[in-house]
Chain A
Amino acid sequence: MTRAALLRHPVSVVWGILIAATLTSWWLGTDHGVSNEQTASILILVVAFIKVRFVGLYFMELRHAPLPLRMIFEGYCFVVCTTVILMFVIE
């Protein structure tokens, strides 16, 4: 495998998506785009946890991990994301 072939991999695409998502949240969080603050905040949190899941599955390579480890990680993302958003909305 060559160096160029090493970079032509889904991981590179994921990195591009994560950078784009960060720039979008940055923009949303600086009072642009969505007028309702709470809607923008929920959107930002959902995007953050999708990013966390991508980091786990592609950078930590958990998409190739045995099912129990992958499920623990996926469960963490789902439970923490849901709890954080619920606490945020109910407050």
Chain B
Amino acid sequence: MSTVAESEADATGPESPASGKPAKHIPGEEGTWIFILGDMTVFALLFGVFIDARSKHPVLFDHSQAILNQNYGAINTLLLLSSSMMVITGIRAIRHDIRGLAPAMFLGAIGCGLGFAFMKYLEWSEKFSHGIKPATNDFWMYYFILTGLHFFHLILGMLVLTYLFVQSRKPALTVRQFAFVEGGACFWHMVDLLWIVLFPLLYLVK
């Protein structure tokens, strides 16, 4: 059975061939992409629903948004962007057979994910302690639904990152195993990507 490092000349990654032009390559299994694109579409619809709800009560939404602490949202964006950077570096380390780097990168990404979860815990508990609940008004209902749904994806993503960490510690991965690892990495990037839109939508735009 061929492994990723052995088959670098095959279609295991965009940086594989030495012939100059990179080969076209689907990152991960095709099925993973149906799931990722489906999830992204659901969130796109939710963005629309949120803006539509906002248009009906602009003053209420602006006043509620003013209570949000933008620092939490921005720090969480920086954490997810950095985790994504570590994940792609881990993927490239496996591809180039650089021992030891990939597990460290995936562990770092899990650390960023935990940091995000901790910030969310602080933020939500701050809101609850001020008596703000999903039932308070439409803004807070959408805020808790959107950030809650994203948080659920973050938890799934951290389980996926744990799988990536375990796989990256193996001496070698088969092409199929590596495809699953790449697909898992793309799932994590989706968690990052969705937050990149949610942050301005909920916290910044007026």
Q: Residues on A close to B: CB < 8 A?
A: 1-3, 6-7, 9, 11-12, 15, 18-19, 22-23, 25-26, 28-30, 37-38, 40-41, 44-45, 47-49, 51-52, 55-56, 58-67, 69, 72-73, 76, 80, 83-84, 87-88, 90-91
Contact = CB atoms under 8 A, between A and B. Distances in A.
A22 B197 contact: no
Given A41-B205, A44-B204, A15 B81 contact: yes
Contacts of A6: 89, 92-93, 96, 98, 101
Task: State the majority secondary structure of interface residues on A.
Answer: helix
Contacts of B151: none
A60 B186 contact: yes
Contacts of B52: 87
B54 interface: yes
Nearest to A86: B51
Contacts of B82: 15, 19
Contact of A88 (B41, B84, B96, B205): B205
Given A6-B96, A37-B206, A52-B193, A84 B88 contact: no
B85 A11 contact: yes
Contacts, number: 139
B146 interface: no
Nearest to A50: B196
Which of B37, B88, B201 has the most chain A CB within a 10 Å cutoff? B88
Task: State the majority secondary structure of interface residues on B.
Answer: helix
A60 B84 CA distance: 9
Contacts of A3: 93, 98, 101
A91 to B, nearest CB: 3
Contacts of A51: 196
Contacts of B168: none
B200 A45 contact: yes
A55 B200 contact: no
Given A41-B205, A59-B189, A19 B78 contact: yes
B200 A25 contact: yes
Contact of A1 (B58, B98, B186, B201): B98
